[in-house]
Chains A and B, each alone.
Chain A
Amino acid sequence: MKQSIQNLAKKYDHQSTHLLQILREIQAIHHFVPEEAIDALVELLHIPRTRIISVIEFYSFLHLSPRGNYELLISDSITDHMSGKKELTHYLSKQLNVAVGSVREDGVVSLDNTSCTGLCDQGPAGLINGYPLTRLDRPRIDCIADLINQQKPLTEWPSELFQVNDNLIKSGLLLEHTIAPGEALKETFKRGLQETLAEINQSGLRGRGGAGYSTGWKWHLCYEGPEEDAFCDVDAQNQLQRYVICNADEGEPGTFKDRVLLNSFADQVFEGMTLCAVITGASKGFLYLRGEYLFLYDKLQSQLAERRQSGLLGNNILGQGFCFDIEICLGAGAYICGEESALIESLEGKPGIPRNRPPYPVTQGYLGKPTVVNNVETFLAATAIALHGGEWFAKIGTEKSKGSKILSICGDCTQPGIYEFPFGTNLKTILAECGADDVLGIQIGGPSGTFVSNQELDRTLAFEDLATGGSFIIFNSRRNILDIVHNFTHFFAHESCGFCTPCRVGTSLLAKQIDKIVEGHGSAGDVVALEELCQIIKKQSHCGLGQTAANPVLTTLERYPELYQSQLKKISYEPGFDLDGALETARRLANRNDAGAHLAQTDASGSLPIASFPPSLAVAEDHE
């Protein structure tokens, strides 16, 4: 093993920044990271073993103990649940004779849940050794179980099991016309770099990840660099190391547009990154690809190779003297790495823990250097703007939200897939396009976004109204809102990085409290307690994850207070745990089952009139 680890370390120049990439490869070979490998890496990378262990234990796809030779993960996204995920997983577990969350005794297969795999339009979905399985149903599961039991290598599995479709249903401004590789760069060099930046500013392009920061301004700030360098001479300015990062860690449940953009429009994304590099003076770029999109990796690498061949990347781009190249780095199952500073930490080979801000990445990003982090779609749009001009883009959309937005639509509709709409389009129009009727509500922007009810369908897609990174999940009237909230709340508890107290502890408390209410143990004070907890998590958390983790509860509580209230018992209090269940061990050991060996979950003590709280003592006058 030592030799293979040495080779691996060499492949990555013994750079500890590539620790995550190295560990991914080790996991892929051994289905865990063996002790020997850790020992070897300590020596080879000159880092403490605590660093290696903390990275392994941070990312869901890395393990310290062996998984099966077939690591099977089933997506836990709400849309997978809506298409029968629970029942299918149960069936799969039976067919393979392995419990969820465990490894089969013979070590051949392990089964577990995983957060949304970005295949919500073709679920229920899963991953096997990192590669996607789509449209799971009983026949497919039978087939998969057979293949695993025969221990057939994945390369010999029928390719239709892995078939991922684009489902590009509606193209608009950006997706209607493809742009030939180099076209936008040539136009940029012809027009001039500052002039092109001006076009991007004029276009009004804002970040497509959801936050909506002005793209042109971000690029400008990165070019300027940190304040202390702002007034150095132009030559020194040009010497500054800068980085361009494309955030393809598309982890928000219900989002899958970046998968399609990288599958079918990758050149345009790479071109956008290159544009950004020549404008800001960056010489190195990274595509941070979420681990779930491993299946795109080889294809993207060959596209990069072609671009190098065509002089669109490398030491002298289009003969203009610019030097820029792009490296693809894979994530390993951590939603938090979609947060830009966590992503940068991850790229540096560390756990994806969001940094304190300021400083912001534009001044101190990757390895402390000025860094632009933009979404896949943002770079795609920038390429189109560089070619067609700012005016072309700005004439579409609304005052504050220019251009179009690419949506990933899934859930209860006849045609889930990718849709491009001008900003300002209202929900009614979108629902009609994708064939959704009997709509109860829509989750816009994923779990961290907003739940809108069917009373709000005149609202529009726009930063000033409903902002979204692209997730658009439709629920019809047969869906239970509390089930949805339950799924989302557990998602955040699972994905919290654990850095700050309010999010680390708060999201888990929130999951407990939602369980209590959903399972029918809630009583008078529990919704008040729920809301109070939500407000603390929202207000006091370190980053966007914590600040939005309570949104599923808050946005539904605001719209359906009666739904939560109706779930509560009309009593003052009920325990949040199963009282009788807590006696089970003692009952078994004492071999008892008499009436005295059981406890009711509530009794008359819990039925006190609710109005008596908070209590006060009516004090008779003669006490004075």
Chain B
Amino acid sequence: MSKTITIDGKTIPFEEGQTIMDAASAAGVYIPHLCHHPDYSPHGSCKLCNVSVNGRICSSCTFPAMDGQTVLSDTHELNEDRRRITQMLFVEGNHLCPGCEKSGNCQLQAVGYHLNMLDNHFPHFYASREMDASHPDVLIDHNRCIFCTLCVRASQQADGKDVFAISGRGINKHLIVNSQSGLLKDTDFEATDNAAHICPTGAILAKRQGFRVPIGRRTYDHKEIDQVSLAESGYRPNTTLIAETEQSQYDE
């Protein structure tokens, strides 16, 4: 008999070695996240995917699924906290959507929509951050970096390079690149690298692509992030069985 956990009352099977996030995604249950990507090793830093596991808060992207776990994710309380954490990311950097080419394709924005975030709530930090447009094909706008390390991991794990790293401590964290000049153009980075296409926000953008797809016709203008994310992690709605049991106690 296969092992199972329950998430918000749904019984979900898992295989040994899967995280709660893996098991949830495979079963078509979306847990909000920004630093997680199914192709790369989990990181556990954005904390949007925090869930309650038998009453304890854990990052679902790093915490292993274990038989019999009772997981709560889509609760009012957790979603409120997720909204606040997303707002923290918005005030920490300088996220001015109307002027950003990523708008409409941005996961940070889409998570905000998903969580019905209408404002930034906290006072802004007005961080003074630079832009690196030195590379012929790709630019870095540090204003939009949320330190998810997906570019760091993609460069290491998929491209076999070491272009990026997160440096600094606390609120002074920043993205650095592997060149003496500190500029992207002097690294071995190429526009075809996986790391060039993994950024969930508009911090790493391909040049000369601006407005190819008009605002209003972009990914999250049509689809909610839960559907996009589940499709990306390979979930096909009709092929996975979800046993729905004892759901009533979790209904709001």
Contacts and interface: CB of A to CB of B under 8 A. Distances in A.
- Find out whether A and B make contact in their complex, taking CB atoms under 8 A apart as touching: yes
Interface of A: 35, 39, 48-51, 53-54, 57-58, 334, 351, 356, 358, 493-502, 504-509, 512, 532-533, 536, 539-542, 576-577
Contact of B165 (A51, A497, A509, A576): A51
Interface string B54-85: 00010100111000000000000000010011
Contacts of B91: 505, 509
B4 interface: no
Nearest to B156: A48
B194 interface: no
A504 B171 contact: yes
Of the listed residues B167, B173, B176, the one surrounded by the most CB atoms of chain A closer than 10 A to its CB is: B167
Contacts, number: 112
B171 A54 contact: no
A42 to B, nearest CB: 9
Contacts of A500: 44-47
Interface in B92-145: 92, 122-123, 125
Contacts of B173: 498, 504
Contact of A509 (B64, B88, B172): B88
Contacts of A334: 169
11 contacts: A50-B178, A54-B167, A356-B42, A356-B59, A358-B64, A498-B169, A498-B171, A500-B44, A501-B45, A507-B170, A532-B84
Nearest to B123: A576
Nearest to A352: B169
Given A50-B178, A53-B167, A542-B59, 20 more contacts: A48-B178, A49-B180, A54-B176, A351-B169, A356-B63, A496-B171, A498-B147, A498-B171, A498-B172, A498-B173, A500-B47, A504-B92, A504-B173, A505-B88, A505-B91, A505-B171, A507-B171, A509-B123, A536-B81, A541-B47
A577 B125 CA distance: 12
B84 A50 contact: no
A577 B123 CA distance: 10
A576 B165 CA distance: 34
B162 interface: yes
Given A504-B173, A536-B85, A539-B57, A356 B165 contact: no
Contact of A498 (B84, B164, B170): B170
B47 A57 contact: no
Of the listed residues A35, A358, A500, A541, the one surrounded by the most CB atoms of chain B closer than 10 A to its CB is: A500
B88 A50 contact: no
Given A502-B85, A505-B91, A536-B84, A53 B176 contact: yes
Contacts of A351: 169
B177 interface: yes
Nearest to A359: B64
B166 interface: yes
A577 B168 CA distance: 26
A57 B170 CA distance: 11
B45 A506 contact: no
Contacts of B46: 500-501
A352 to B, nearest CB: 9
B57 to A, nearest CB: 6
Of the listed residues A504, A539, A577, the one surrounded by the most CB atoms of chain B closer than 10 A to its CB is: A504
A494 B178 contact: no
B35 to A, nearest CB: 9
Contact of B123 (A358, A502, A512): A512
Contacts of A533: 84
A459 B47 CA distance: 36
B230 interface: no
A46 to B, nearest CB: 11
Contacts of A358: 63-64
Given A50-B165, A54-B165, A497 B170 contact: yes
Interface in B141-192: 146-147, 162, 164-173, 176-180
A90 B64 CA distance: 53
B89 interface: yes
Contacts of B57: 539-540
A338 to B, nearest CB: 15
B171 A508 contact: yes
Contacts of A512: 123
Nearest to A35: B180
B25 interface: no
Pairs of residues from A and B, 8 with the lowest C-beta to C-beta distance, nearest first: A50-B165, A505-B88, A54-B167, A356-B62, A48-B162, A498-B173, A496-B170, A498-B170
B50 interface: yes
Of the listed residues A500, A501, A508, A532, the one surrounded by the most CB atoms of chain B closer than 10 A to its CB is: A501
B88 A493 contact: no
B140 to A, nearest CB: 14
Contacts of B123: 509, 512, 576-577
Contacts of B42: 356
A48 B165 contact: yes
B171 A497 contact: no
A49 B178 contact: yes
B88 A497 contact: no
A48 B152 CA distance: 12
Contacts of B147: 498, 504
A237 B64 CA distance: 26
Of the listed residues B47, B147, B166, the one surrounded by the most CB atoms of chain A closer than 10 A to its CB is: B47
A358 B177 CA distance: 30
Given A50-B162, A509-B122, A58 B47 contact: no
A39 B178 CA distance: 12
B167 A58 contact: yes
Of the listed residues B57, B125, B170, the one surrounded by the most CB atoms of chain A closer than 10 A to its CB is: B170
A144 to B, nearest CB: 29
B167 to A, nearest CB: 4
A138 B4 CA distance: 68
A440 B4 CA distance: 53
A536 B180 CA distance: 40
A495 B172 CA distance: 11
Nearest to B166: A54
Of the listed residues B84, B146, B172, the one surrounded by the most CB atoms of chain A closer than 10 A to its CB is: B84
B178 A57 contact: no
